[in-house]
Every structure is written in C-alpha cells, then in structure tokens.
Structure 1
Amino acid sequence: MNANKKCKTYHFNQEWELEFFFVDIKGKCVCLICRDTLSIFKRGNIERHYRTKHADFDLKFPTHSSLRQDKLKTMKLKLNQEQSVFKNPNKLAQNVTIALFKVAYLLAKKKKPFSDGELIKEAFKEASDSLFTDFKNKSEILGAISSIQLSSNTVMRRIGAISSNQKTQLQTDLSKCSYFSLQMDESNDMIDTSQLSIFIKMCFDDFSVKEEFLKVLSLTGRTRGEDIYKTFKQFVEEEEIPIEKLASITTDGAPSFCGNKKGFLALCKNDNSFLHFFQYHCIIHQQALCGTVININNIMELVVKIVNSKKQYCKQ
C-alpha cells in the first residue's frame, strides 16, 4: 500500500435530504425515517440504506412532489423536537425546581400545612387534563406536572431553603447598607407569650431604601426593659448585626421601652456598642398627651380603636 496515499474526505450533500431523507447531525448521517446513523457521508451507503429499508417511501411520497417536501419538513421538525428534549434536560429540571419553590413559598405565605402540596399537584393534574385537551404537547405538559415533587418532606425542605436564602440576602444587605433604623412592637400571641416584632429599614449609598421584616423574639418570663434589652443584645451578637450603623429606633411607647433609667432605649444608650441614635415612639402616646391638654379625647379614642383593630388583625 502506498504510504503517501491520502484518505478521501466525503461531504454531506444537501440534496440527499429530499432524495433519501437523511440529514447531517454533528458529522453523522441520520435517517429521518428510522433514526439509523451512518458514519461516512458516502452517497452509495446512504442510497443502499434507503432502497433496502424504505423502498416503498417513493410510492407514498413521489419524488419532487410537494407532498414529499412537506413530509421532509415535518420529519425534520420532529427530529429537532426530540433533540431539544435531550439537549435541555437541565433546563427542564431547573423549571421544575423553580415551580416547586413557588408552590412551597405560597403554602408558607398562606400558612397552609405542608401536606397541601400533594393536593395542589393532584388538582393541577386534573385541571390540566381538561385545559390542555386540544394542545399537541399535552403529554409533555402533564409529564412536567407529574415530575414536580410536592410531598410534605420536600415542601418542608424547600421552605427551609427559602428561609435560609432570605436570611442570607438580609445579611448581605446589612453589610452593604450605610445606615439602618429599627421599629419594634411588643405584644402577646394567642397563647399569651410575649413576642417582640422587629422591622428594619436600610439606606444604601445610592440613597435607595429597603424595608424588611427582621425577627420575632420570644420574651419568656417578665418583659421589663432590661429583659427586652438582654434578649435583643443577644440576638444582635449571635447574628453579627453591624449595630454601629444603627440610626434610629422606633418603639410602641410602652414604659418598658421608654423608661428614663431602666427602659430598653435608656439601656441601649448606656451601652458603648450602640453609637448615637435617634429614638421615636408610637404617635398614639404623643397624641394621647395632646388630646388630654386640648380636650379631643373623643378623636383619640377613635384613633386608638382603629390602630388596635389593625394590630389585632395582623396577629390573626
């Protein structure tokens, strides 16, 4: 054999698509009819396959006819759809995961039991079976719905992941913000346990403002100013909150917060880790004093009733 003889290179001819229903897929000849592949772009091999296995195809779809051209387009489109399923398994899995997180978030937001996830999935499947009756990709839609895992344990883990992510985002915002202010309100829950709700408003270098719910701290035992201070200080240290960025604190105006010596705010001001901050309390207490002086108690009674009604609604 001549060592200098070069190997012959074959190239795919586009005319073979209509003539033999073969296409070039990443360097391989693929038969659109049976999906067999040939490794060499050689007309003889392609024609032999077509004449041997699909001899009746010319009778059903005559050469150079519009029927044959339409069939070619349909089969190429079908092949592309099949390939897209295999090309994008990660995309499908990602979409399913996003859908699962959205359902889990909705259940948590509406305070529904984790087991309701399976009910939602079943309802979704039943409704989709009728809604997408006339859709060509109905089976794909139902398959995607079936792939969503909404068991109680799965929903619980996803809600935990959402909570962790929200905490991480809040920590990132706290590290980036220039200053922040806190708003606190202490009240009892349904089992008469004192709860301290804390909200935070952060200001950034671009003067944008972001407000978030920070934490609910349970106050076991007594709820004196020093008890609130110790619980809050422990929370700040454990979560490594940059307290030096604190600009102001707004409270509900109760004596445990506003006491001159042992109130929560007074104890914070005496703590060297707290820099100078402004303090405010609920407008009801300011207006109550004003109403006593200028005799508008009837108006204040209405304001207090409205505020307390809103607070009671938020607890439910």
Structure 2
Amino acid sequence: MSESKKKKTYHFQEEWEEEFFFTTVRDKSVCLICGAAVALAKRHNVERHFSTLHRTFNASYPPGSTLRAEKVRELKAALGKQQFFFTKPVKQSVATTEASFRAAQYLAVNKKAFSDGEVVKGVMSVVADTLFKDHKNGKEIIAAISDVQLSANTIARRVSAMSTDLTQQLNRELGTCKWFSIQCDESVDNSSTAQLMVFVRMVFSDFTTKEEMLTLLPLKTTTKAVDIYEAMKRYFTEKNIPLEKLVSVTTDGAPAMTGRHSGFIARCRRDPDFPRFLNYHCIIHQQAICAKVMGFDHVMTPVVKIVNSIRSKATQHRSFKLLLEELSAEYGDLLLHTEIRWLSRGRVLQRFLSLLGEIKEFMDSRGQDTALLQDAEWKLDLAFLTDITGKLNHLNCELQGKDKNVTDMISAVSAFRAKLNIFSVHLQINSKRYCSCIWGLGQGCRKVHPAHI
C-alpha cells in the first residue's frame, strides 16, 4: 500500500456522514445516532459500529436517498445545539473575565480608585435596564453585566496580573532587542520617599524602537550616588537584564549622578559588568538650571510670596475666591508654585497676571501694601517673564512624550532658538503677536492670555 493511501485510511472521509451517520468533532469520529466516539478514523471501525448497532437505519432511511441526507442534517444540527449548550457557559465566563480585565485597565489608565469598579458596574446595570428592558435579549444582557466582577479586590488583582504580564513582556523585549538606553531621574514623592524612576528605549534588529517605563525604585535611606548605583545594579541582576546591550545613560546634572569620581555614572564606568556607554545631561534639567540665572528673582519672589499669603489661611483664601466670583474674574483661584514641576512657573505667572487687578483690590481691602503691583516697570518685567516662560513651557511640551527621537528634539530646540530673534524684533517694534502679555498691560491685565506660537 502506498504512503498516500495509507494516510487516507486514517482520516475521516466526508462521505461517511451519509453512509454511516458519522461526523468529526475535535479530531474524533462521532456517531450522530448514539454519540459514540471512534478515536482512529478507520473505515472498518466506523462501518463495524454502524452495522452492529444501527443497521436498522438502512430500512428507515435507504442509502443514497434524500430522506437519509435530511436525517443526517437533522442529527448534525441537534449535535451542534448540544455542544453549544455546554460551550456557551464557558464562552460567557471567558467574556466576563475579559470584560473585568478591560474595566480594570480603563480605571487604571484614568487613575481612578479600585473601588470605582462597583460604581461603574452599577451605572452599566442602570443604563442596560433602561435601554434594553424591552429588548428580546434584555434580560440576558443585564444578567451578563451583573456577572462581571468589579469589586475593589478583583480590580486590584486584575491590575496586578496585568502589571506582571507587562513586566514579563518588557523583560523579554530587553532580551531580544539589539541595544537599549536608559534615563534616570531621582525625586521625592508626597510621602517623603525618594524614588528613582528609570525609563528605557530599545532598538530592535528591524530598526524599530520602543520606549517604556522600566521601573520605579525606592531609595529608603539616603540618595547618595552609591545608593542609586546599588539599587540599579541590584535590579539589573535580579531581572537578568543584559547589560552588554546598554549604549547610553541620561541623567540630570546633580553631583550624585554626574560626579567625576564617586557619582552614579563614574561608578557604573568602573564596574566591569557595564560596557562602555555614552552619558547625557537631560535637556529639561539644563533648561531649568539656565532659568535660575535669568535674573528675575525680583519678580518671581514677590509673586510666590503674595500667592502663598493669600492661600495660606483658609478664611482669607475663601474670601479671595468669593471676590473673584463677585467680579466675574477669568479664573476662580490662584495656583501654587511648585519648584519640582517644570510647567509650574509659567502657569503660576500667567494666572497671577490675569488676576492682577483682583489681587490688588483684595490686598487693598485688607490694608496691605500694593505699591509693587502698581509699579509700571515691575509689571512690565512680570509680563515679559510670563511671555517667555509660556514659550518655554510650549518648548518643553514638544520635547516631552513617547516616540520622540533626537532629530525631533533638535528640530524643536533649533526652531525655538530661531524664534528668539523674532521675539526680540517684535519687542522692539511693540508688536503684540509674540508678546501678548506685555501688550496686554496697556489693555488691562484682566484679559491677558499666554502667547501661542
């Protein structure tokens, strides 16, 4: 017997359906009459089963007749319904679990509390009961929604499972990528715990790139260079990250990071496990350092002092907000300045300048000195600083975000440097196009808006 014929006898043949009332289900031959299964689909096995148990069917349904073919279709339909009866609960359970995971992801992405899952479920039930109460499958839809598990503990488990899966995917990608670079930034959260945030950008063999947040490492004691180095080295060792693929490290300019002898970069270079790599100073941190030597402390210091004095006492703060409401001011409150936020300075100044008239009126009502707020030269400096910080914030936004490569950032910085010459020209000719805050002083500060380039 040839190989092709031998192989053919071990596979189910379609003509057996009508000849022996057999069909195939999951690589098994199943009798349509009694439901018996034959593992090896050999013709003599199928034929023996039919002739032994169901030979009388030949009399009722003659071979080759239309009646026999109709009976086969009827039995196949009945078998399909029976299988659906058992598989439907499984499919519904899978769909319910998937819905729970999707809801957990949505809550996590939108930074909502895990306990909001029950609120979401309640809202969906109310909406479904309203929209589908007269629908023919309305009860099934409402029942399916009620089966979705969205309790706080369930959402926490879902988020933890997704986090673990994403971490495993990232570790696999670090193993398969061609090269990768990291960016480190150390800061302190609202619980006074120092955190080291590490981002990674990977390059694969097909020249595609991917960037993700790699980890967030707590620094529980000091934040010296040795602490940062040991935390990073421990993490790379525990996760088996291939250090030989590291090509560059980006940090801020703090001595703990860039110290020549004992900084984080210097320690990494002395470690034989680290390859030769390039190190860069983050451009945003460079910009923040440059801003500190602009010589505008005579503007920023009084602004922060006035804002803090208004917002420091609850009674005074409420009175100020009430005044803004009565005067139909453009904004309802002042913003606090935060040194650690890179957008804070520009937004605080813009809000302060917009509410300058209301602030002066509020301070006058309390008998406070407002001579500085009436000084024309100081207000001009305030408007100029508001304009320039607004433009710096716009530049920072262009430099932030995912999928930004070096050409995009160089283009943004080069364009900003070219625009500085245009800003200077427009200042000299008193144009309002790029200096709206300065120009707005002549129109009253209540309607001033930041410049849009």
| TM-score, length basis structure 2 | 0.49
Question: What secondary structure sits across from 1:26 in the alignment?
Answer: helix
Residue 192 (structure 1) aligns with: 192
Q: Is the 8 A contact 2:187 2:195 kept in 1?
A: yes
Residue 264 (structure 1) aligns with: 264
| Closer/same/farther in 2, CA of residues 144 and 163 from structure 1, 3 Å limit | same
Residue 11 (structure 1) aligns with: 61
Share of identical aligned residues, percent? 40
Mapping for residues 111-150 of structure 1, pairs under 5 Å: 111-150=111-150
Greater RCO (Cα-Cα under 8 Å, separation 6 or more): 1
| Closer/same/farther in 2, CA of residues 257 and 146 from structure 1, 3 Å limit | same
Deviations 1:79-137 (A, max 9, x none): 96x97454433222211111000111222233333222222212111111112234221
What is the distance in 2 between the residues matched to 1:268 and 1:227? 12
What is the distance in 2 between the residues matched to 1:214 and 1:176? 15
Deviations 1:192-232 (A, max 9, x none): 22111111111111111111111111112221111111111
Superposition misfits of 4+ residues, deviation over 6 angstroms: 12-16, 288-292, 295-299
- List gaps (5 residues or longer) in structure 2: 1-53, 297-384, 402-453
What is the distance in 2 between the residues matched to 1:289 and 1:244? 33
Mapping for residues 10-29 of structure 1, pairs under 5 Å: 10-11=60-61, 24-26=74-76
| Closer/same/farther in 2, CA of residues 223 and 146 from structure 1, 3 Å limit | same
| Closer/same/farther in 2, CA of residues 260 and 148 from structure 1, 3 Å limit | same
Mapping for residues 154-165 of structure 1, pairs under 5 Å: 154-165=154-165
Mapping for residues 198-209 of structure 1, pairs under 5 Å: 198-209=198-209
Residue 98 (structure 1) aligns with: 98
Q: Name the aligned partner's letter for residue 255 of structure 1.
A: P
What is the distance in 2 between the residues matched to 1:190 and 1:286? 25
Deviations 1:9-37 (A, max 9, x none): 23398789x9xxxx823397x9xxxxxxx
What is the distance in 2 between the residues matched to 1:181 and 1:204? 12
Q: Name the aligned partner's letter for residue 272 of structure 2.
A: N
Instruction: Provide the aligned C-alpha RMSD in A.
Output: 3.7
Q: Is the 8 A contact 2:199 2:215 kept in 1?
A: yes
| Closer/same/farther in 2, CA of residues 204 and 302 from structure 1, 3 Å limit | same
| Closer/same/farther in 2, CA of residues 297 and 273 from structure 1, 3 Å limit | farther
Question: What secondary structure sits across from 1:197 in the alignment?
Answer: strand
Deviation at 1:142, TM superposition (A): 1.0
What is the distance in 2 between the residues matched to 1:85 and 1:130? 29
Residue 389 (structure 2) aligns with: 302
Q: Is the 8 A contact 1:288 1:297 kept in 2?
A: no
Deviation at 1:296, TM superposition (A): 6.5
| Closer/same/farther in 2, CA of residues 275 and 87 from structure 1, 3 Å limit | same
Question: What secondary structure sits across from 1:94 in the alignment?
Answer: helix
Q: Name the aligned partner's letter for residue 389 of structure 2.
A: L
What is the distance in 2 between the residues matched to 1:289 and 1:122? 50
Deviation at 1:188, TM superposition (A): 0.8
- The answer to whether 1:236 aligns with 2:230 is no
Question: What secondary structure sits across from 1:25 in the alignment?
Answer: helix
Q: Is the 8 A contact 1:226 1:264 kept in 2?
A: yes
| TM-score, length basis structure 1 | 0.68
Q: Name the aligned partner's letter for residue 177 of structure 1.
A: C
Q: Name the aligned partner's letter for residue 176 of structure 1.
A: T
Deviation at 1:148, TM superposition (A): 1.0
| Closer/same/farther in 2, CA of residues 200 and 288 from structure 1, 3 Å limit | closer
Q: Name the aligned partner's letter for residue 261 of structure 1.
A: H
Q: Name the aligned partner's letter for residue 11 of structure 1.
A: Y
Aligned residues: 251
| Closer/same/farther in 2, CA of residues 137 and 169 from structure 1, 3 Å limit | same
Pick which of 124-133 and 202-211 moved more: 124-133
What is the distance in 2 between the residues matched to 1:288 and 1:7? 91
What is the distance in 1 between the residues matched to 2:295 and 2:245? 39
What is the distance in 2 between the residues matched to 1:120 and 1:128? 12
Question: What secondary structure sits across from 2:128 in the alignment?
Answer: helix
Q: Is the 8 A contact 1:251 1:280 kept in 2?
A: yes
Residue 214 (structure 1) aligns with: 214
Q: Is the 8 A contact 1:265 1:279 kept in 2?
A: yes
Q: Is the 8 A contact 2:133 2:139 kept in 1?
A: no
| Closer/same/farther in 2, CA of residues 182 and 139 from structure 1, 3 Å limit | same
Q: Is the 8 A contact 1:247 1:276 kept in 2?
A: yes
Mapping for residues 52-131 of structure 1, pairs under 5 Å: 84=84, 86-131=86-131
Residue 56 (structure 1) aligns with: none
Q: Is the 8 A contact 2:248 2:277 kept in 1?
A: yes
More helix by share: 2
Q: Name the aligned partner's letter for residue 186 of structure 1.
A: E
Q: Name the aligned partner's letter for residue 302 of structure 1.
A: T
